[in-house]
Structure 1
């Protein structure tokens, strides 16, 4: 974990240097809430986003999460309500739909690959249960987020189709981006 923290600090420094070159787009916040099959639960903080010359910068200010690395995605619909999955079972934040894939790429290749646009860099939660390390999505802009939702999954992300959806697993937290 120490290496992840050092690497994360180096990435954060580079990202924050790019913020000074941000475009005219103002910073916006999305409230993030825990989700389960009963619905939207308590707030765990927010994620701010803004356009930069290098893509979309997302800066989490989240707390009370288990330490680890989590899959982070942009989902198609602006909802965090439960919904049915393909098998008819209730799924936490199921109404958010699948990962944002406007070009029907149909593959998970990560934020730097040529797959769908919903793959964001993973979120890192430190030993204190906080996620504050900024991440950069180079193929997205703030405009792409309008009318969608941000999702944090219970597992990590391999940025591949195997295991299913990159191994992210169940939906843990969600935030709606209004248009």
Structure 2
């Protein structure tokens, strides 16, 4: 019995060591372009969906909108004639053309992720689950975005959950 338990634990450990993960470098962004690195987010494929595991620091405490954006760029680009942080990333990833922001488990943009919590010391380390995203390959070639404010996962009273400015971004390769 003891040998069986040891073998089972070893097998589970080996499976988790070989689970495919993506590591995304995340940098501050501003209207001037891409800035300093704030950390990484690893993404792991599970039977329940993709798990995003942030290891970020130097952020403003509180709840932040967290999304996958359409284009694989974190560069500043014009918005209404003025440079805008990470605007080259485009909007929230919406391959099904729903045209609406929603919960990560709902029927809105596929890029709508659970909000990210940043502690009082500026760190984000709490993993979030995206249950509608099943495969790492489907998110490659997009950008991961952190917004200044929270996200109510609706288009009311403000569009796109009211997350506001783009403050950190990473290209998903």
TM-score (normalizing by structure 2): 0.87
2:168 matched residue in structure 1: 173
Deviation, structure 1 residue 103: 0.7
1:38 is aligned, of 32, 35, 39, to 32
**The one of 71, 74, 77 aligned to 1:80:** 74
Q: Secondary structure at the match of 1:143?
A: helix
**Are 1:119 and 2:112 counterparts?**
yes
Structure 1 counterpart of 2:124: 131
The number of residues matched between the two structures is 159
Name segments (4+ residues, structure 1) moved above 4 Å: none
* Superimposed CA distance per residue, residues 131-162 of structure 1 (whole angstroms, 9 cap, x where no aligned partner): 00000000013122110000000010010112
* Corresponding residue number in structure 1 for 2:23: 29
1:57 aligns with 2:51: yes
What's the secondary structure of 2:132's corresponding residue?
coil
Measure the CA separation in 1 of the matches of 2:111 and 2:142: 10
**Kept in 2: contact 1:69–1:125 (CA 8 A):** yes
Aligned Cα root-mean-square deviation (Å): 1.9
Q: By how many angstroms is 1:25 displaced?
A: 4.5
Matching residue within 131, 151, 159 for 1:164 = 159
Out of 15, 39, 60, the residue aligned to residue 66 of structure 1 is: 60
User: TM-score, length-normalised on structure 1?
Assistant: 0.84
C-alpha distance in structure 2 between counterparts of 1:132 and 1:170, whole Å: 21
Deviation digits for residues 90-146 of structure 1 (CA, Å, limit 9, x no counterpart):
210010001000010000112011011010000000111110000000001312211
In the alignment, structure 2 segments of 5+ residues that lack a partner are 1-13
Structure 1 stretches of 5 or more lacking a match? 1-19
> Max radius of gyration: which structure?
2
